[in-house]
Amino acid sequence: RELFEEVGVSVYSFFPWITRVTHQNGCDVILKFFRVNIWEGNPVAREGQELKWQSPSEIRVNPVLPANHKVLKFLRLPSIYGISDATSLNSFVFSKKLDNAVKQGLRFIQVRDKKLPELQRIALAKKVIEKCNRVGGIAVINSDFDLARRFNASGVHLSSALLKRQQSRPNFEWCGASCHDDKELQKAIDIDLDFVVYGPVLKTATHPESKPIGWTKFELKAREFPIPIFAIGGLTKTMLGRAQSIGGHGISMLRGAWS
């Protein structure tokens, strides 16, 4: 209703995104954000306000409400989060699949492959970071701060074990973490991370011993989470809509990102 009254847009489909709490004049203000994906009409200033289209990565209007700074940053995160799989595919095959995935629009990649020989992992990190930088994407390194700094990665992704030991936010533009329970999710919030992956939602071939949390539990955590939360574990690209419809920012995939 507000969108129609203020900017003349009729909304037909939307889904919950994040919930932020700010403190103003001694009160807690709860802001529930939604993402609109189907609408009709061209936005016009129906109440005499000024309108300006800008990219979340380049906001030039002033002032911006303090509560919106983090939100605008979160909007820059793509909805598909690919995890490198050079170990099982072999480096040559993965390189080809990486090229193809980036051509098809993948813009958010984590270099994991912890079992690769050191020189191969270094080469992999260099290639992924260079390729992401070329297309304006985001490349993060799993748990290795030195490697991330060496090639100027966009950030780091903390394993759940490293998250537990971390006392403060690492000094990178983007910082995320793998979470499996309530304590880890809260820790990610406490140290001001930018995103988390939560799961496994479904059974996975890589971790058959892990008990999946299922979509119901994922929704329970995602619907009022204050930072972007990605579903992970046994997912395919066709499940993106389901994850977003229940509050997820997107999905993270190992094998599925390269198929």
CA-to-CA distance for 227 and 196, rounded, in angstroms?
A: 8
CA-to-CA distance for 212 and 227, rounded, in angstroms?
A: 22
Answer whether residue 86 shows pLDDT above 80: yes
Cα 111 to its chain centre, rounded Å, is: 15
Write the single-letter amino acid at 174: W
What percentage of the chain exceeds 70 in pLDDT? 100
Burial class (CB within 10 angstroms; exposed 0-12, middle 13-18, buried 19+) of 208: exposed
- Model confidence at 96, pLDDT cuts 50, 70, 90, reads very high
Residue 221's pLDDT is 96
Answer whether residue 206 shows pLDDT above 80: no
Asked if the bond preceding 200 is cis, omega within 30° of 0, the reply is: yes
CA-to-CA distance for 77 and 57, rounded, in angstroms?
A: 10
DSSP code of 111? Answer: E
Q: Identify the CA nearest to 163 among candidates 131, 197, 134, 132.
A: 197
Task: Tell me whether strands 10-24 and 27-40 are parallel, antiparallel or unpaired.
Answer: antiparallel
Answer whether residue 62 shows pLDDT above 90: no
Residue 65's pLDDT is 84
DSSP 171-190: SSSEEEEEE-SHHHHHHHHH
Count of C-beta atoms within a 10 Å radius of residue 37: 13
Write down the pTM of the prediction: 0.94
Q: Is 168 helix (H, G, I), strand (E, B) or coil?
A: coil
Output the CA angle 22-174-185, nearest 5 degrees.
60
Residue 66's pLDDT is 82
Report, as an integer, the average pLDDT of 169-184. 97
Answer whether residue 208 shows pLDDT above 90: no
CA-to-CA distance for 102 and 135, rounded, in angstroms?
A: 8
